[in-house]
Amino acid sequence: MHERPSGEERAVIVQLDFGRDDLDEQLAEVRLLARSAGASVCAVVHGRRHSPDAATYAGKGKVLEVAAEVAAHTADLVIFNHELSAGQERNLERALACRVIDRTSLILDIFAQRAQSAEGKLQVELAQLEHLATRLVRGWTHLERQKGGIGLRGPGETQLETDRRLLGIRVRLLKERLARLERQRGVQRKARGRGELLNVSLVGYTNAGKSTLFNALTHAGVFTADRLFATLDTTTRKLWLSEAGHIVLSDTVGFIRDLPHSLVAAFHATLEATAEADLLLHVVDSASAARDDQIADVNKVLAEIGAADVPQMMVLNKLDISGLPPAVERDEYGRIRRVRVSARCGDGLPLLREALAEMALAKTLKVREQASNAAAAQDIELNFGPDGSP
């Protein structure tokens, strides 16, 4: 095993081309991920392949090139912007004589740094343990097999089997705790859903400006920074709209391309709040050249967590960079499709408040209409009986 340095780590990034046409965006994103994790990128190794190498993913020649860059820059870490198997990761560490991580491990490390709440820490630990389960190897070969006492002699367990058993116990414990928290969240959401308050969740690609917009609307003081996954835990506040009263607004974790499935599963309790919202504010970086791909990636994750059918209002953010004017865009039926704002400068925020008030009033009318219909149905049942007879 390679020790983790206590200071900033010097990293070499490996980005291979398998025929995709968004390599520049992929490279820019992994650089931001590395910076968010606390690493300093000292070199980038490019390559082109038809398919991954079974043993080292990159092939022998490319591994030698990476080793040369590691030696030249005295790097501590090699980051593959791809998903490596456990065997490929071990083979690369032996060949490069330094730690090697893949994209999933990098994202997990960032999540571990960002988690603040007890629930967030449990979710990150669960995702890390499930990822680690595929990478367990014998770490203590000198132990051979553990010997039992009198009446317990036999082959016993290998250290690897013991590690797997203890890891499995911890995973089950974490899942039980998260299930309890999920039930508690469900009760709270049902209580909110029975009222007339509009329940809105902010969603979007990481670093699109969700938390900045959340702070601009609610003055919540959520931490913001120009880095990926600056905030991780969900924050909920009431927002007063003079035209429609209060609504409930939640800031959620940002999504990203190829978000690890283990993270989606582990954060199910948090992401479920998104699936049960009345409205999703899909925040988009209007200045990003890859915004269409980012929108597609967010919608893919929303479908994965069961939120594909929740109504969306798109918010094109960062007008101060893109140069677009503030505006509200409607479809041919008069429904709001997009609102253009700058969360940092405040341009367009009054338009967004008016759009949210319009949605809140629509929900209030719907809830009152449903209550009126239910009361009328109850009166009919009391007067005529459940079978319709007088």
Give pLDDT tens digits for 230-265: 666 678 889 999 878 889 998 887 888 877 766 676
Torsional class of 251: left (φ above 0), alpha (ψ -120 to 50), beta (otherwise): beta
Interval 30-65: pLDDT, tens:
998 999 888 999 999 999 999 999 999 999 999 999
Binding residues for Mg(2+): 211, 231
Domain membership flag for residue 149: no
- φ, ψ dihedrals at 81, nearest 5°: -85, 50
Binding residues: 204-211, 229-233, 251-254, 317-320, 342-344
Same domain, 355 and 209: yes
β 235-241/245-251 pair status: antiparallel
Same domain, 186 and 319: no
For residues 132-161, give the mean pLDDT: 55
Same domain, 245 and 362: yes
Same domain, 56 and 166: no
* CATH code, domain with 222: 3.40.50.300
Same domain, 68 and 175: no
Same domain, 205 and 170: no
For residues 184-201, give the mean pLDDT: 70
* pTM higher than 0.85: no
- Are 231 and 270 in contact by the 8 Å Cβ rule? The answer is no
Domain membership flag for residue 385: no
More confident site: 217 or 305: 217
What is the band of 88 on the pLDDT scale with cuts at 50, 70, 90? Answer: very high
In the listed set 147, 174, 194, which residue is the last one of a domain according to the structure?
194
Same domain, 282 and 338: yes
Same domain, 64 and 185: no
- Are 324 and 316 in contact by the 8 Å Cβ rule? The answer is yes
Interval 314-350: pLDDT, tens:
999 999 999 999 999 999 888 899 999 999 999 999 9
How many other CB atoms sit within 10 Å of the CB of residue 138?
Answer: 11
Binding residues for GTP: 204-211, 229-233, 251-254, 317-320, 342-344
Same domain, 369 and 235: yes
Q: What is the largest CA-CA distance in the chain?
A: 92
Q: State the residue for tokens 């330094």.
A: 98
Domain membership flag for residue 112: no
Domain membership flag for residue 145: no
- φ, ψ dihedrals at 35, nearest 5°: -65, -40
Map the chain to HEC letters: CCCCCCCCEEEEEEEEECCCCCHHHHHHHHHHHHHHHCEEEEEEEEEECCCCECCCECCHHHHHHHHHHHHHCCCCEEEECCCCCHHHHHHHHHHHCCEEECHHHHHHHHHHHHCCCHHHHHHHHHHHHHHHHHHCCCCCHHHCECCCCCCCCCCCCEHHHHHHHHHHHHHHHHHHHHHHHHHHHHHHHHHHHCCCCEEEEEEEECCCCHHHHHHHHHCCCCCCCCCCCCCCCCEEEEEEECCCEEEEEEECCCECCCCCHHHHHHCHHHHHHHHCCCEEEEEEECCCCCHHHHHHHHHHHHHHCCCCCCCEEEEEECHHHHCCCCEEEECCCCCEEEEECCCCCCCCHHHHHHHHHHHHHHHHHHHHHHHHHHHHHHHHHHHHCCCCCC
What is the band of 120 on the pLDDT scale with cuts at 50, 70, 90? Answer: confident
* CATH code, domain with 61: 3.40.50.11060
For residues 194-211, give the mean pLDDT: 84
Q: Name the token pair of 24.
A: 């520049």
Same domain, 266 and 179: no
Domain membership flag for residue 166: yes
User: Which domain covers residue 176, as residue numbers?
Assistant: 117-137+161-194
In the listed set 194, 214, 236, which residue is the last one of a domain according to the structure?
194
More confident site: 365 or 67: 67
Same domain, 280 and 297: yes
Domain membership flag for residue 4: no
Domain membership flag for residue 276: yes
Domain membership flag for residue 261: yes
Same domain, 188 and 201: no
Average pLDDT score over the chain? 82
- Looking at the structure of the chain, the number of domains it has is 3
